[in-house]
Amino acid sequence: MNSLEQAEDLKAFELLIVVSVCTATGAWNWLIDPETQKVSFFTSLWNHPFFTISCITLIGLFFAGIHKRVVAPSIIAARCRTVLAEYNMSCDDTGKLILKPRPHVQ
């Protein structure tokens, strides 16, 4: 996985997190609204556009395949490799630390 793919995966992960939080926040507001119980389902969705748009966006992202791009362990491992490279170390996809030989300074 090259750095461009890693950056794209990280952007996809961040987008999914933002849309998920927006959907959860909108759902909370939708559920605690006393009007939601009194009106029809579609009217309640119409009264809560933030939740409706967030939910549609989240569903759209899954249909677009964001769940295939977002692999949190590989993103975390890639970030760890970047930091560990400065100390002549690395890690595998499971997080196991790999010590590299020190470069000989002459």
Contact 6, 78 (CB under 8 A): yes
What pLDDT score was predicted for residue 1? Answer: 56
pLDDT < 70 regions, the chain: 1-3, 5-6, 71-75, 106
pLDDT score at 85: 86
Query: For residue range 52-79, what is the model confidence (pLDDT) as tens digits?
Result: 999 999 999 999 988 777 766 666 777 7
Give the per-residue pLDDT at 71: 66
- pLDDT of amino acid 6: 67
